[in-house]
A and B are shown apart, each in its own frame.
Chain A
Amino acid sequence: MDEKCIVYLDGRQIGFVKDGAAFAQEIRKARRGGVISGEVNVAYVKKFKEVNVNADRGRVRRPYIIVENGASKLTPDIVEKLKKKEIDFNYLIRRGIIEYLDAGEEENINAALYEKDIGPNTTHLDVDATAMLGLTANSRSFPEYDQIGRHPSANNFMKQSQGLYSINFNKRYDPRAFVLYYPQKPIVSTSTYRTLKMERHASGQNFIVAMSTYYGYNMKDAVILNKAAVDRGLGRSVFFRTYTDEERRYPGTQRDKFAVPTPTMDGYLGEHAYAKLSEDGIIEEELPIEEGEVLIGKVSPPRFLEEQTSFGIAEEKRRDNSVTLRAGEEGTVDSVMISETTGATKIAKVRIRSIRVPEIGDKFASTQGQKGVLSLIVDPQEMPFTKDGIVPDLLLNPHGIPSRMTFGHLLEMLGAKAGAFSAAELDGTPFSSKGKDLVDQYGEVLQKHGFDKFGNEILYDGRTGKRFDANIFTGVVYYSRLWHMTALKLQVRSRGPVQILTHQPTEGKPRRGGLRFGEMERDALVGHGASLLLKERMLDQSDKAELWVCSQCGDIGYFDYIKNTPICLTCGSHDLMMIEISYAFKLLLDEIKTMHILPRIKLKSE
């Protein structure tokens, strides 16, 4: 038994073999010869003396070129044939030239990254060095020059960028969508980017960037935009939000109905809210709309069955169940769609459009993991300008570069500048270049056009007209606007709704809530000894309640407005006093009472 290897098929033990390694090799041979499916992977685990054969779904697999006897099976003439489109990629798999391996089988191989690295023990060759990166990482330029820690954030920013996500966006009813007004393709792109035809769904624009401070306004990753550029449509996007509602059916014959609610209905919002609805209860297209206005008028049957009255079945009291525009939003009705669901009920979708011009607090990011929040929009005459009169679109603080070591950002800046002057699209495919060569190459182009080869420029302060002492690095960077925007997040409250149970202010933007004054904040005030401020926060601006307390028995009573006297139900006394107390505490007393404990409040007059 000791000498034998356990064989697992899809994790289930099916038998033993003598020589696990040879057995695994045999399966591989069969797979390459096309005897068994190419989706079967086999891994020999020396440590546990087992062979794992996997043919189930859900395994992540990646392609490798097979190497035999120290030579890649993907020979130049096969590549030639591929180029002539005489054969396709599947041919390579069928013929055992390329195979897909899962994580288990990868442990058994000895793969070379480049063809020149193939040695006597090499079994596989990587398809390309860029294959180690995913699609997102592969579509940004010069990633290999960046610090490793910037990659995850850079990829995240790219996923959050606004762009032309779909060409038929005006036919779609996505719950929420951003469409950039003038998407551009990057001047420096990668081969993956071009292969995927990502430029058709571009999600950014080429900004003229000067790496300069601006009167302290771009400290700590803040960025400054040129007002002229913003007015010309830089970073401008449109935001779509779709509101959906459906005429539901309820048990019995009852169902919802799209209609304009009448004032007698429960939850009627007032005449003004329904003013823009048409007769069918749904709003008209191209109407400007504000917060709190109804988009889809809907009347629903009552939540509970009505009691029977002496007239037999009571007249049905229907309630208003309309869809209103979200708190703090506004826009124009872009499109209305009425259709039927598979359940044969009527469905209505209303798409609201609103234009989002860049404003202070919006988030921008380059593809190199350099993000920033817009802190100021400066009039063009106050922006710095070059000797040629070029005013940058964006001012980036140079202090954000050294600590993050995003050299790719600088390289892109220089490269795109050279590309802009020579009207050429440049290549920034990962692992395809040498940094020094690129800098020389770009420098040559820049010098040819009469610029400094390192991209530095003489800048003049727009405010004073004086020349800056230092030369400032200026270039072009592909910047994206991310969907974290002020307009969607800004919220204020002085007074507003409270929770029914606790009488405390609500939480969260959709409920017009406040910001929680939590335990640690409370401790801070205690630590300062600010007793009245603390009381104001915890009581007066929260859940202050007035309560009648019996002076005799200490239980809570109430004021009887008919008899015009307070009364204690526990002892029948009329000798009660009113106290100001936190409603949450009253709730606590009620809960203690449910435990069959009577808490008594003993009052003492001061």
Chain B
Amino acid sequence: MADIKDNETSVVPGEAVGTVAAQSIGEPGTQMVLRTFHSAGTASVVVSKGLPRLIELIDARKRPRFPSMHIYFDKGISSKYEKVREIWRMLEEVRLSSLIKGFDEDLRSATLTLNLDRDKLALYELTSRQIVAKLAKREGLQASAEGDIVKAKINKRESLKSTRTVFVHVLKSAIIGIVGISKAIIQQSEDGTFFIVTAGSNLEEVIKISGIDATRTYSDDPFEVNKVYGIEAARNIIANEIMQTITEEGITVSFRHVGLLADTMCSFGAIKGAGRHGIAGNKESVLARAAFEETVKHFINASVFGERDMLRGTAENILIGKQITLGTGRVRLSVRKSDIAKLSKK
């Protein structure tokens, strides 16, 4: 029975699944608008949506414009706001520059004088002592505090330029939080449990925090998921994200098409985009690659390496004017040798 069902639902041999998938995603894509709308006033994280997000995913951009995470917690924690808040405090990256009222740099003595903002410190429950401790961790830096004034001195002076570079790095350094997460917001789901939505993503560090349920914590950056969980997980992220982006626009596309696209993008073991550096650039046939983009480059390389085009693909067969090997063209007639012998006897 299962066998029959499987036969019924599987694709017919020779079906142009890739072309149909491309058309099925591409045609509704023309109806999507390039402009992204931001909802003003609500406490939310900026997420890219619509066509820009779709392009970002399909092109496999290394750095998405607005990566985001959904962080979930273990059973004991997720319903307790105080505990969630404790973890939340560890997430958001707070830079030294956002904790000060002003600073003064003395390049001659290589001293950076910081005027801390008391209100900001209170918000993050920090003391000037903690900041001094954090700064002192940096190599070749001495730090001392006098009330709100923190002084940081470089031990070994080299050039004025390097001194300035160190100052800039010190101001940019994260005092608390996880690198890459610029904003985190606690939200409550319908069943009363809490979860955190972030702007910026750092899956590797976040799942190390105790109390976080790593099995449910989600990042929408395929490259990060690939780094942490591997290519299969990344494939699912790509497929889900594309699917979600398309569905949000109010367009229905079968998941099969999207899944095929994600599968192809990940079929090399790493995430490849759908451009000339990705799927299209890795085609076997010289003619098919040359027909797409950078014609001359492909022909010259082919001549240098003595490449041979076996004319198996669709694009090259259309180019030379042969019947394509898809659909009705897939069927070949073959004759047994013994039958040929019989025929020739007649």
Task: Give A contacts to B, CB under 8 Å.
Answer: 522-524, 526-532, 534-535, 538-539, 543-544, 580-582, 584-585, 588, 592, 595, 597, 602
Contact = CB atoms under 8 A, between A and B. Distances in A.
Given A526-B16, A526-B314, A529-B16, A538 B326 contact: no
Contacts of A539: 321
Interface stretch (B61-69, B91-99, B232-240, B296-304): B296-304
B299 A595 contact: yes
B267 interface: no
B327 A535 contact: no
B324 A535 contact: yes
B314 A532 contact: no
A531 B319 contact: no
A584 B318 CA distance: 11
A532 B321 contact: no
A576 to B, nearest CB: 18
B122 interface: no
A527 B321 contact: no
Contact of A527 (B16, B299, B308): B16
Contacts of B320: 581-582, 585
B15 interface: yes
B321 A529 contact: no
Contacts of A584: 319
Contacts of A535: 321-324
18 contacts: A526-B314, A527-B19, A527-B23, A529-B330, A532-B323, A532-B328, A534-B318, A534-B323, A538-B321, A544-B321, A580-B321, A581-B320, A582-B319, A582-B321, A585-B319, A595-B296, A597-B303, A602-B308
A522 B318 contact: yes
Interface in B3-34: 14-16, 19-20, 22-23
Nearest to B327: A529
A597 B300 contact: yes
Contact of B329 (A523, A527, A529): A529
A523 B23 contact: yes
A529 B20 CA distance: 10
Interface in B235-288: none
B283 to A, nearest CB: 15
Q: Which 7 A-B pairs have the closest CB atoms?
A: A529-B327, A531-B329, A582-B321, A539-B321, A597-B303, A527-B19, A531-B324
Interface in B54-108: none
Contacts of A597: 299-300, 302-303
A529 B15 contact: yes
Given A523-B19, A534-B323, 4 more contacts: A530-B327, A535-B322, A592-B299, A597-B303
Q: Is the interface of A mostly helix, strand, loop or mixed?
A: helix
Contacts of A527: 16, 19-20, 23
Contacts of A582: 319-321
Most A CB contacts (10 A, CB to CB) among B15, B16, B302, B320 go to B320
A597 B297 CA distance: 12
B324 to A, nearest CB: 5
Contacts of A538: 318, 321
A531 B15 CA distance: 11
Given A527-B19, A527-B20, A534 B324 contact: yes
A601 to B, nearest CB: 9
A345 B318 CA distance: 53
A584 B323 CA distance: 16
B321 to A, nearest CB: 4
Contacts of A532: 323, 328-329
A527 B19 CA distance: 5
A592 B320 CA distance: 15
A191 to B, nearest CB: 43
A581 B325 CA distance: 16
B328 to A, nearest CB: 5
Contacts of A528: 16, 327
Contacts of B14: 529
A538 B323 CA distance: 10
B327 A585 contact: no
A544 B326 CA distance: 21
Nearest to B318: A538
Interface in B305-337: 308, 314, 318-330
Most A CB contacts (10 A, CB to CB) among B19, B20, B302 go to B19
Most A CB contacts (10 A, CB to CB) among B303, B323, B327, B328 go to B327
Nearest to B296: A595
A86 B110 CA distance: 89
A531 B328 contact: yes
B262 to A, nearest CB: 20
Interface in B184-213: none
A530 B321 contact: no
A527 B328 CA distance: 11
Contacts of A522: 318
A531 B321 contact: no
A544 B329 CA distance: 19
Contacts of B322: 535
Contacts of B327: 526, 528-531
A164 B300 CA distance: 64
B219 to A, nearest CB: 35
A527 B26 CA distance: 13
Nearest to A538: B318
Nearest to B21: A527
Most A CB contacts (10 A, CB to CB) among B303, B308, B319, B322 go to B322
A581 B316 CA distance: 12
B8 to A, nearest CB: 19
Contacts of B328: 529-532
Contacts of B330: 529, 531
B344 to A, nearest CB: 17
A531 B323 contact: yes
A588 B22 CA distance: 28
Given A530-B328, A531-B327, A532-B323, A595 B300 contact: yes
A585 B324 CA distance: 16
A602 B319 CA distance: 16
A531 B314 CA distance: 10
Contacts of A592: 299
Interface in B135-162: none
Contact of A526 (B299, B300, B308, B324): B324
Contacts of B329: 529, 531-532
A534 B20 CA distance: 16
A588 B296 CA distance: 11
Nearest to B310: A602
A595 B304 CA distance: 12
Given A526-B326, A529-B327, A595-B296, A581 B303 contact: no
Contacts of B324: 526, 531, 534-535
A582 B291 CA distance: 15
Nearest to A545: B321
A141 to B, nearest CB: 37
Nearest to A544: B321
Most A CB contacts (10 A, CB to CB) among B16, B20, B300, B314 go to B16
Nearest to B325: A531
Contacts of B326: 526, 529, 531
A525 to B, nearest CB: 9
B30 to A, nearest CB: 11
B296 to A, nearest CB: 7
A538 B329 CA distance: 15
Nearest to B314: A526
Contacts of B15: 529
B292 to A, nearest CB: 11
Contacts of B319: 582, 584-585, 588
Contacts of A581: 320-321
Contacts of B314: 526
Contact of B19 (A526, A543, A544, A580): A526
A524 B327 CA distance: 12
A410 B329 CA distance: 58
A274 to B, nearest CB: 41
Nearest to A535: B323
Most B CB contacts (10 A, CB to CB) among A526, A543, A585, A588 go to A526
